[in-house]
Structure 1
Amino acid sequence: MDLSLLLTLAVIHSVALISPGPDFAIMVKIATQQSRSTAIAAAVGISIAILAHTILSLTGVSLLIKSSHTLYLLVQIVGASYLAWMGFGALRAGLAILAKRKASASTNAGTNVDAISADVEGAASIAGGLGGTMSQKQGFLTGLYTNLLNPKALVFFLTLFSALITPSVTTSTKIASAILLLSLSLAWFGFLAVMLSKAQVQLKLQRLTPIIDAIIGVIFMSVALAIYANLLLTA
């Protein structure tokens, strides 16, 4: 087993994990606005998606997808469309909460924590799958799809393993690398799920809910637009 290779993978993946992106953004939103169990489910969903990308890259499936112009184009369109839809839902939810608060303030009825909580729940129908109370299954699937359908994630893992995993690397090292990346992902996103879902943290961030939603919406839509722009430039 190549320990130096595993260490290199661990460092690179750890840096990628803590970098701002769709995975981090969706974890912040779910962990600060949903139950701890739902946040943990989302963390598991993201980690399973990372494991899937790892396996696809190690087995060469990701390379086949990227080598096929039609298939890779389809992956990018579907992924970008999903991220854009999620971003639009989050941004719209944030704006809806701001509008409700403004209306409540004009009638002196929205100045306490209970009113703020009601505003958050009131935007549920507008936020698509991101608003209101989410079940553990919804949390898991949201985390899973956010990473799995992100074309940038596919390219990242394909590039990472193409550069580091040579034909001489043993099967045991490949298996260990998959377990390592899964473990690091579960540790990081699980940490976010537990820390950000604490009652006192959620209470402090309730007033920032529309801002968090707006930022997340911008992040998701920016990634989607970047993918669309790249498709147009390379067409």
Structure 2
Amino acid sequence: MLSMAQIVAFSGVIVLGAMSPGPDFAVVVRRSAVSGRGHGMAAAAGIALGVCVWVMAAATGIAALLSASAAAFTLVKVVGAAYLGWLGIRSLRSALRGGGALALDVPEPARRGRAAAFAEGLLTNVLNPKAALFFVALVPQFVGSHASVPNAMMLAAIALTGTIAWFLLVATIVGTLRKVFTRPGVRRTVDALTGLTLIALGVRLAASSRP
């Protein structure tokens, strides 16, 4: 079993990793700003599940196969870059359309909207091969090259908890300020900056290579 020192150290690395700017952060901020805290939290849950998947994959050696295979790495990289580019273009189109102020009292199909936000967060994380490389390097330092099932599950639970805690905080802060983000000018700025960021991250991912 993992020691308390290992648990604390792994938790710290996970939270610091989550806090680093990237596509996950951009997706949660935009969802929270445009659609509200609930949608931002749904995106956060999707991202956390994606992190959990990568930790389990790294602990069982699946992620190592991805990082070792040039074809598999390239496939995930291209699909992930295309997905980020698509999200970015969609945000830019929203910015160019401008639109009016959001009507906060109009009911919306919350289930479908939150399910879409969850899927967006999950796919943004899972389709990022850099996440695989990160956890391939990180996880063996705590459980060795062959983790037991209990240890793998514990690391996955820690990663899930740490990631969702950070992004729920982000979603709550941005969602609380939603009235500011509903102003047409602010909303267009958020959409434009998010779109450019996601496209830039997609290009960067497409140009990346295995270490």
TM-score range, shorter chain: 0.7 to 0.9
CA distance in 1, matches of 2:59, 2:193: 34
Residue by residue over 1:12-68, the C-alpha shift from the partner in whole angstroms, topping out at 9 and shown as x without a partner, is 111111111111111111111114332222111111111111111111001111212
**Structure 2 match to 1:51:** 52
Q: Would you say the 8 A contact 1:84–1:220 is kept in 2?
A: yes
**Structure 2 match to 1:37:** 38
CA distance in 1, matches of 2:53, 2:148: 20
**Structure 1 match to 2:158:** 180
Residue by residue over 1:101-135, the C-alpha shift from the partner in whole angstroms, topping out at 9 and shown as x without a partner, is xxxxxxxxxxxxxx4337xxxxxxxxxxxxxx961
Deviation at 1:144, TM superposition (A): 0.8
Q: Root-mean-square deviation (CA), in Å? A: 2.2
Residue by residue over 1:167-194, the C-alpha shift from the partner in whole angstroms, topping out at 9 and shown as x without a partner, is 4865433322211111111211222223
CA distance in 1, matches of 2:198, 2:143: 30
Q: Would you say the 8 A contact 1:76–1:151 is kept in 2?
A: yes
Q: Would you say the 8 A contact 1:83–1:150 is kept in 2?
A: no
CA distance in 2, matches of 1:65, 1:185: 23
2:202 is equivalent to residue 218 of structure 1: no
**Structure 2 match to 1:128:** none
Q: Would you say the 8 A contact 2:53–2:156 is kept in 1?
A: no
**Structure 1 unpaired stretches of 5+:** 101-114, 119-132
Query: Aligned pair in 2 of structure 1 residues 166, 212: CA closer, same or farther (>3 Å)?
Result: same
Residue by residue over 1:64-100, the C-alpha shift from the partner in whole angstroms, topping out at 9 and shown as x without a partner, is 1121221111111111111111111112221221xx6
Deviation at 1:223, TM superposition (A): 1.5
CA distance in 2, matches of 1:168, 1:67: 17
CA distance in 2, matches of 1:156, 1:62: 10
Tell me which structure has the larger Cα radius of gyration.
1
CA distance in 2, matches of 1:159, 1:38: 32
CA distance in 2, matches of 1:230, 1:49: 21
Q: 2:129 aligns with which of 151, 174, 185?
A: 151
The one-letter code matched in structure 1 to 2:162 is L
CA distance in 2, matches of 1:142, 1:230: 22
CA distance in 2, matches of 1:155, 1:229: 15
Residue by residue over 1:149-182, the C-alpha shift from the partner in whole angstroms, topping out at 9 and shown as x without a partner, is 1222222222212444314865433322211111
Query: Aligned pair in 2 of structure 1 residues 150, 167: CA closer, same or farther (>3 Å)?
Result: closer
2:117 is equivalent to residue 116 of structure 1: no
Q: Would you say the 8 A contact 2:56–2:152 is kept in 1?
A: no
**Structure 2 match to 1:60:** 61
